[in-house]
Structure 1
């Protein structure tokens, strides 16, 4: 892992190209079976009925990280800044809220594809306003937490699929999703 940057915060952002980050092509579904060696999160231990409360508990840590003076600074040219991770997590919250909605309302839905790396480039995560991202992240966290709060015991095993064939249930979607939120807090040391 990289250390905290010691440089001064970056000047006002520009639309200049930024060094690209190699796309993450790993299939992270393995975190449903074993603890993550990087962040220590054990997704299999998560009770789906606790996901909403956990998201609410984690949100202030994201808000605090995004308010850091160096939130825009990449610790290394090919490692996302806290701002970029925050924008990604905001979008994860939104995407998984929609996936959870599909699981709860449809029978065995196929989730729309989402290319997180393309989104980061197209939406220029690096140029977004950390204050706006923090507000949007908080709103998205409230929305998905509220939806997880509505999950009934008889809904936890409702299935859905990604286009690559990975099958999720409401329970495993919550576990997988929560790992993403926690893991990226680890990435930004928050």
Structure 2
């Protein structure tokens, strides 16, 4: 993903797997549509998140059935398999963060480095059939969590270690952009 608000600073060095870590702050998607995938996060209500996640799951399963699922389009771009593993973990991380926001007052989120997770989780060597089942299960859990957001909880807050503050509403918007954008990345 390319951040149109990124500065001209030099990009970070590639990791051992050839991927250059994404160090950009993607919270700008909360203010304007993404020029790459077209998603308008600001239009999303908390009640929209669960159905949208469930609607994405068949597309992920179909993408994971491709014969070239583990092939990177270029050495520095994740394969469909790696993107799917990332999204599975995004489902889990955001379910945890949503739970904290609903249960605690203004919780601080633990750091999550998606690039380290990809290496440590060996995203490139996942079993596509197993991953499809894990995606479906994790997606179902986070969808149900967003479905369960009660009236009055939409503005509860939580924050990342970099100081970015989210409400339940904006967390859902930000999260759903990630899911939709990665479907765009894999052309599913």
Asked whether the two chains share a fold, i.e. TM above 0.5, the reply is yes
- Aligned-pair distance for 1:152? 1.2
1:67 to 39, 62, 65: 65
- Aligned-pair distance for 1:19? 3.7
Name 2:25's counterpart in structure 1.
Answer: 27
Q: Residues 17 and 119 of structure 2 are in contact (CA less than 8 Å); yes or no, is this contact kept in structure 1?
A: no
Name 1:159's counterpart in structure 2.
Answer: 157
TM-score (norm. length: structure 1): 0.90
**Structure 1 residues 6-61: Cα deviation after superposition (integer angstroms, max 9, x where no partner):** xxxxxxxxxxx974200001100000000000000000000111110111111100
Distance (Å, rounded) in 2 between the aligned partners of 1:101 and 1:65: 29
| 2:91 aligned with 1:93 | yes
Name 2:130's counterpart in structure 1.
Answer: 132
**Structure 1 residues 75-109: Cα deviation after superposition (integer angstroms, max 9, x where no partner):** 11111000000000000000000000000100100
Instruction: For residue 160 of structure 1, give the secondary structure of its aligned residue in structure 2.
Output: strand
- Aligned-pair distance for 1:160? 0.5
Distance (Å, rounded) in 1 between the aligned partners of 2:159 and 2:41: 19
Structure 1 residue runs without a partner (length 5+): 2-16
Distance (Å, rounded) in 2 between the aligned partners of 1:19 and 1:57: 31
**Structure 1 residues 136-168: Cα deviation after superposition (integer angstroms, max 9, x where no partner):** 010000000001011112000000000000000
In the TM superposition, 1:25-64 aligns within 5 A as 25-64=23-62
Name 1:102's counterpart in structure 2.
Answer: 100
- What's the C-alpha RMSD, in Å, of the aligned pairs? 1.3
Name 1:118's counterpart in structure 2.
Answer: 116
- Aligned-pair distance for 1:122? 1.1
Which ranges of 4 or more aligned residues in structure 1 deviate by more than 3 Å? none
